[in-house]
Structure 1
Amino acid sequence: MDLIVTGKEGRWQARFGDRVWRAAVGRGGIAEKRAEGDGISPLGCWPIRRVLWRADKLAAAPVSVFPTAEIAPDDGWCDAPDHPAYNRPVKRPFAASHEEMWRGDDLYDIVVVLGQNDDPVLPGAGSAIFLHVAREGYTPTAGCAALSRADLLEFLALAGPQTRLCFRDGA
């Protein structure tokens, strides 16, 4: 069973079987990915690779069938299309453009790494497309999907090893 993220005009939801949760997606909505940094959540279904989490923010690793790993203060994710480490985890300091995984807000307290543009990695086809914790008010992401912390933990506990995250357009 897949987690289906769909909706339109700021009314996004994630459906997993009979469970439906409010969701956030990229500021560009759900569409065909055009380029790195376009703010689009990319149409398609993406396998779940692993779950990253902040041990200083959660008492234990999220319950999940997927591999889990703690996020360290020097963890980053390369988003520089011309760099050999593009769409890969890196250690900071890192000279090329990258996301800081150890954020000052709560968004990356739990990060579900999706297999979008990772086999093979194509420069500019999108990086760091995650499922993570939503901001208050479910404001748009940079291209990821986001759920409340409680909903994300519930989803991870229910998901099976073949579960994917699917971005679909329409209501």
Structure 2
Amino acid sequence: MNERIPATIGAGGIKTHKIEGDHATPTGIFPLRQVFYRADRVASPVCHLPVEPLSRQDGWCDDPTHSDYNRYVMLPHPARHERLWRDDHLYDLVVVLGYNDAPPVPGRGSAIFLHLPPPHCRPTEGCIAIAEPELRKLLRMGMREIEVLPPGQR
């Protein structure tokens, strides 16, 4: 499938050389690894990927100095991390992308997900955000990867 979908990207734009904390969305082709969802808010998506309901103990390590960098972690966790169970709705449906994960390179960027859009068209912190109906459609159709093109190649 070669479909273009409207998406929200990071406040730092799209970059070929992403670094932790630059709020940029990295360029490249990224496999979809796993789906998490808030079972108390939304239905489980229909897809070929592994699907897990989120819990309050789910997190993602974004500390480049820690051995769990850019990996799923259980909370509490001793290193800097992001909570996947959020008060807002961004991670009601969230897809883990295969970015900087084989193996993770410290400082190269972490927690790059495909998730629901922030309110008021705000940019993400580097992730890719797609409206829930389109995200569910892509997952149902068997999407296995997402491509982020550098500026000027859209």
TM-score, normalised to structure 2, is 0.93
Please say which of residues 28-37 and 122-131 is displaced more in the overlay.
Answer: 28-37
Q: Give, in angstroms, the shift of residue 28 of structure 1.
A: 0.8
**Is 1:147 aligned with 2:152?**
no
Q: Deviations over 1:128-159 (max 9, x none)?
A: 00000002333110100001112211111113
Match of 2:80 in 1: 97
- Alpha-carbon offset, residue 34 of structure 1: 3.5
Classify the secondary structure of the residue corresponding to 1:93: coil
Matches within 5 A, 1:107-122: 107-122=90-105
Query: If each structure's strand is expressed as a fraction of its own residues, which one has the higher value?
Result: 1
Moved more, 110-119 or 130-139: 130-139
- What are the superposed Cα offsets for residues 11-51 of structure 1, whole Å, 9 maximum, x if unpaired? xxxxx53xx43210011111123311111110111111111
Q: Which residue number corresponds to residue 21 of structure 2?
A: 37
Q: Unaligned stretches of 5+ in structure 2?
A: none
Letter in 2 for 1:164: E
Q: Give the TM-score of the pair, scaled to structure 1.
A: 0.84
> Which of these residues, 55, 63, 79, is aligned with residue 39 of structure 2?
55
Does the 8 A contact of 1:32 with 1:40 survive in 2? no
| Aligned residues of 1:42 and 1:143 also touching (Cα < 8 A) | yes
Match of 1:81 among 64, 79, 83: 64
The answer for unaligned runs of 5 or more in structure 1 is 2-15
CA separation in 1, counterparts of 2:53 and 2:93?
Answer: 9
Instruction: Tell me the amino acid that sits aligned with residue 56 of structure 1.
Output: D
Secondary structure in 1 matching 2:123 = coil
Cα distance in 2, alignment partners of residues 81 and 52 from structure 1: 23
| CA distance in structure 2 between the partners assigned to 1:111 and 1:93 by the alignment | 21
State the number of aligned residues.
152
Q: Distance in 1 between matches of 2:115 and 2:103?
A: 23
